[in-house]
Structures are given as C-alpha cells and as structure tokens.
Structure 1
Amino acid sequence: MMNAFAWHWPWLLAIGLIAALAAAAVSFFLSGRARRGSAQAPVFDLEQDFNTEYTSGMLRQWRWYNRVAAVALAAALILSVSLAARPSQVGSDEERAGSRDIVLCLDVSPSMLAYDHAVLETYQRLVAQFKGERIGLSIFNSTSRTLFPLTDDYDMASSQIKYASDVLGKVSDQDKIDKMDAKTSQDFSDLIEGTQNRKDMTSLIGDGLVSCAAMLPGFTYGSNGRGSSESGGPTEQRPKSIVLATDNVSGKSTYTLKEALDLTSKAKIGVDGLYSGAQTSKNDKTTLDMKRQIESHGGTFSSAGTGPQAIDAIVESIEKHKARSQDQARKASMLDTPGWWTLALALAVCIWISMTWKLKR
C-alpha cells in the first residue's frame, strides 16, 4: 500500500535549488554589467556582417539549438539534484519476521536405536518443508553432541541427517548389530562419540533438552551450573523451536524435564515432543507425564509414530509458535521511487547531447 509522495533527503534538494538560484543571479548580474559597459562603443554582430537570408537562418537555428541545449542542461542538473534528494513514497506494510530457528533434538540411547532411523527420516521430511529457517541437529544420551549448528544450508543439513540415518539404520535391531562389519562399527562409534560421557547414565532427557536449547540465541548456562534465560534484544524477534524425539526412558539427570521446560519457556523457546519408542509403551505413566508437561508449556506431543500425522502436528505447532512470537505491527517505511525521475533525466541528457552535437557541426 503506497501513500503520499515525499523526499527522503529534502535538505539536499533545498541546497541544490539555492545553488542554482545563486548561479542564475550571478550570471544575470554579470551579463547586465557587460551590456552597460558596451553601450558606449559601437557593437557589430554576425547579422550585420552576414546579412543574407541563408546566414541569418543558420544563425537563428544556431541560437535555437543553443537555447534548447541550455534548457536541457538546466533540466538535467535539476533532475540530478532531485534524484540525489531521493524521491520516495511512504508505504505501509505488515512487517513479519520470516525466519525461525529450529533445533532437532534426538535421543540416541540404546532403547532408541530401533527407532532413530525412522525419526531421522521424519526430520528429513520436516527439513523439506522449511524455507528461510535456520536448523540444527543435536543428539544426546547421557551427554549431548551437536551434529551441525544452526544453518540455512539445507543441502548440508539434509546430507548430515541422511548420513546419520544410514548409520543408525544399520544398528536398528540386534540382528543387524550382530552382523555389523568393522566400518559400520567405526561409523557408529564416530557418530555417537561424546554422547556417553557419564558412566551408568542413559537417556537424560532434561539435560539433553537444555543442551539443545543452548544452541539457540537467547539461552545461556548460569555461572552456577544451572540454566538461565536471557530476554530482550533482537533475538526475541526470531521464533525459536525444538523438536524433541525420545522414548522418555530417563535416568537421574542434572535437570528434570520440567526444569528444562521451565527454562525453555522463559527463553521463549517452543518445545514439541515426538514419542519414538515402542507403541505398547505410549500409554505408560511416564509417557503420559511427558505429554502433560510438554503440552502445559505450550507445545504439542505426538505419539503417532513418525508418519504424516506426526509431521503435520509438529509443523502446525511450529507455525503457531511463530505466529505468537512475530511482531505483526504495521509500520511505515520510506520506499525509493526514482523511476520517472530517472527516465526524465535520461531524456534531458539525450536532448543536451544531441543539441551539443548539432552546435559543434
């Protein structure tokens, strides 16, 4: 929507006009002095020396070309100053933050190995639906490891997810593990390296969630080892989400799931849960408790496996969080509109060049 015309730098236009008027005044003053000084002496001009019909016509044509060239040059100068003052129109548009930060958070504990391959395929399909978002992937067991940080390089992200999916797909059941060759064993070891640094601990969901949240702007660890959230500044303008895939089999962690969700909520990070364990356990008390806690913090919890319903639910939740976080206020903005001014300047310059060429002939 476009509104009234305006000058972005009106002071520059005023300076140009004042300079032009000053130059015209000086020129008029000097020409007046020249006429007064020459009034006492006889004046001879070309019309007297070449008082013929042909030469008189050529002289009139020359003077006409000269006047047109002068007018075109003056117009070009005025238009140049006008363009320098940036002709603009005041537009009113609804400004929206078009991008989001999304961390994919995956439990790689032994109880999840049978499902991680399918979860990563779900993540792959999620990435295919993103446009303009930054995404990152972190895996955790007793400790966490970042596979790739926040990025909008979807080719790289897809290749990393596919690689992890392929590796974990080769250890998705005991039969595959028994038949695993040395290369697969090394690839698997390299992939999960750094996720089992606490002895006799596994699937620490609260700690894993906090580690994933730490990948997002606006969330930091406190100096006392606990977590803290930061608010204010431009980071709040970018919606932030975490997609947490786990089977909710948790050991004794530094952060409980509730504490982790409290911290992410304070940092305005939306958390959506994707239950990825055995379907026979989706109605267990621990799973239902996880569902209740995530939903009470504004997220969605899907126990529909890794099918289209789960993806649709996660995408819908991310969109809702985006809508809540975006600044949808209508703001006025100055939009440069040099179009017709540029065309007029080009026309004036062309006329001046044409007249100058004729004068030289």
Structure 2
Amino acid sequence: MRYGYLIAVVLVVIVLGAAIGWRRVGLKLHASERRGWVANTGYVRNLPRYRTLMRKTRMIVAALLAVFCVGAASLAVVAANPVDRRVEDRRLASRDIVLCLDASGSMLDYDSEIGEAFKTLVEHFNGERVSLYLWSGRSVRKFPLTDDYPMVTEYLDELSSVLRNGILARTSNGYRISRELAKYLEGTDDPDEQVASQIGDGLASCVLGFDHTDQERSRTVILASDNEVVGQGLYSLSEAIDFAKRQKVEVIGLFPGDYLGTDGEDMKNQVESTGGRLYKMTSSDTVDSIIKDIEAKQVNEIEGDARVTVTDRVGTPAGWLAVAILSFLGLLGVTRL
C-alpha cells in the first residue's frame, strides 16, 4: 500500500458519518412520529402476506448493510493505493550456473532423481542464468544460459519425466529404453560406440557453455556423474578441471552412489581443487547444502544497484467498489417497488 494509513482514516470517517446520519434520521422520525392505535389488528402479524413482506424487508436491509460494508472496504483500499513492489537486484544477474549431467547407461537409474534435484535448485534461484548440458560419448546442449525460469522448469520437468518412464527393462547389455528416451538422448552417444561417460569431455563442453568471458562473473558447473569412463576422450577429468580453473569456474559435484570408491574419490579430489565440493545424492540434505554453497559464494558487482519497480494495483478494489455502488442503488430501487 502506498498510503496504508488511509484505510483506517476512510473507515473511521464512513463509520462516523453513518452513525451521525442514522442518529439524525432517527431523531427526525421520533419528533414527527404520530402514533395511532387501531383495535383488533393483532392478527395482522400472523398473516402470510405480512410475514412475506417482513422477511423480504429484513433480507433487503441485510443485503444493503453487506453491500455498504463491501463498498466501504473497497473505497478504503482504493484510497490507500495498493501497489506491487518488485526488487531487481542486478548483482544476481552476474551469477551463471551450468547443469552438467552424465547421460551414460550407468547413470540412467539416477538421472531422473538428479533432474528433480536440478529443478529444486532452480526454484531457489532469483536472477541467476542457468544452462543444461547432457553428455556421454558426445555433449548436447539442451538450452543455453537463460533466466527464463518457466522455460527452465519445463525442460527439467521433461528431463525427469522422460528418464523416469523411459527405462523399460534391464538386459544383459544394459537397458531397453523407450523411443521417447532414445530421442531425448540423441546426440549424446558416440556413433562408433567406442567411448561413453566421458566426464572430461563433458565437463570441458560445460565450461565452454559460459559466455561473456571478458566480464567478471561468478561461474559454477554442477557436475553429476559416477566417473565411470569408457574409452579415451579428448580430455581427461584432470585436464578438464585445469581448464575450468583457468576459466575461473567452480565445479560442484553430484555423485549418485553412497560409496565413492576409486572413481568417486578421484572425482571428489578434482572437484575440490576448484573450490567446490562433492555431494552424494543419497544424502537427504544434498540439495539444501548445494543451495547454501551457491548462495555463500561471492556475487560479483555489476553496473547498477538494486532497483525497485512500483506498479499500481487499484483495478480489483475499484471494481468491487463499482459493483457495491451499483448493487446498493439496485437494492434501494427494489425497496421502493
């Protein structure tokens, strides 16, 4: 409310005006009242027509009172001038986050859950730009860096749904998947089927997904993988990590299992060398911990301070006021019929 105090002022004035008006009308009626008694008319109160008229009068009076209260409340709100205030903190716009998901066969059991975790993370963002990459033998960008959160949520919903419903059966060679899932993962497999789960190549492609490299920005990759590499790619994990550090990119790791093993320990050490941490998806507080980790990072200042946008929102209360006035006049007309 721009002038919130006016609500109380308007209501007090209306109540006092109504009380004074009611008292003056009552005094006039009392002064001019002439009583006359008519014998044998007590039975009139029991007549159906009399009862109907009295019931109708009470209903109209109650309706008038209700409409009057609605009108008074609406007038008070209109006078207070309700507004929407939206704070645009441009500092948050200097934070870029790439969601980097291993789409290899060994991760399919976990990727739906990770997709839900990504969606929960995005729900806590406010101004950050987000991107999504899927990779195995090759890397595919699902969408570039954007702060269009409805679109991001739609993509992450699709990710979770397709992965959750796409595994039809387990086979001796892996999984039998649906056509929808195969189409969704198209482009992530090596055409020659020589390599898979190339975490180094996947991470390097995610690091390359950052733009505005000439600007001071906070850059984070959330890397979800089990680090079970098949074949030889262009980058090893350590080489990709070195590339990330040269680009001043922090890497946060998501590991699907509870037991790290050799692959998990290697991934943990590599991730921590960038200033990030490795989290296990089996932990119940993983998402909350990542959110706290991201929010605790230094947010680089860019041109402009926080800006407040104020928009008037008197349309709804003004509409109720108009309805109340028309209803009040209509009820007055009914009472004269």
1:266-320, Cα deviation, whole Å (9 max, x unpaired): 11111100001x33xx231121111011112211100242x54211222222223
1:37-66, Cα deviation, whole Å (9 max, x unpaired): xxxxxxxxxxxxxxxxxxxxxxxxxxxxxx
Aligned to 2:242: 262
**Matched AA of 1:129:** H
Question: TM-score scaled by structure 2?
Answer: 0.58
Whether the aligned pair in 1 keeps the contact of 2:250 and 2:276 (CA below 8 Å) is yes
Aligned to 2:198: 204
CA shift in 2, pair 1:315/1:164, >3 Å = same
CA distance in 2, matches of 1:167, 1:152: 23
Q: Which runs of 5+ in 2 are unaligned?
A: 1-88, 308-337
SS at match of 2:270: helix
1:247 to 217, 226, 237: 226
Cα distance, 1:247 vs. partner? 0.9
> Is structure 2 residue 278 aligned with structure 1 residue 298?
no
Query: Which contiguous aligned blocks of 4+ residues in structure 1 show a shift greater than 4 angstroms?
Result: none
Question: TM-score scaled by structure 1?
Answer: 0.54
SS at match of 2:157: helix
Cα distance, 1:151 vs. partner? 0.9
CA shift in 2, pair 1:173/1:245, >3 Å = farther
Aligned to 1:314: 290
CA shift in 2, pair 1:286/1:266, >3 Å = same
**Matched AA of 2:115:** L
Whether the aligned pair in 1 keeps the contact of 2:166 and 2:180 (CA below 8 Å) is no
1:125-174, Cα deviation, whole Å (9 max, x unpaired): 00101010110111000110011111111111111111111111113473
Aligned to 1:10: none
Identity of aligned residues (%): 35
Cα distance, 1:97 vs. partner? 2.2
CA distance in 2, matches of 1:119, 1:109: 14
1:98 to 92, 103, 111: 92
SS at match of 1:212: helix
Return the index of the structure with the highest Cα Rg. 1
> Is structure 2 residue 109 aligned with structure 1 residue 114?
yes
1:185 to 175, 178, 197: 178
Q: Which runs of 5+ in 1 are unaligned?
A: 1-94, 219-229, 336-361
Whether the aligned pair in 2 keeps the contact of 1:115 and 1:172 (CA below 8 Å) is no
Whether the aligned pair in 2 keeps the contact of 1:270 and 1:318 (CA below 8 Å) is no
1:175-196, Cα deviation, whole Å (9 max, x unpaired): 59xxx99xx7221122111101
Whether the aligned pair in 2 keeps the contact of 1:114 and 1:171 (CA below 8 Å) is no
SS at match of 1:146: strand
SS at match of 2:229: coil
CA shift in 2, pair 1:158/1:332, >3 Å = closer
CA distance in 1, matches of 2:92, 2:178: 42
Cα distance, 1:113 vs. partner? 0.5
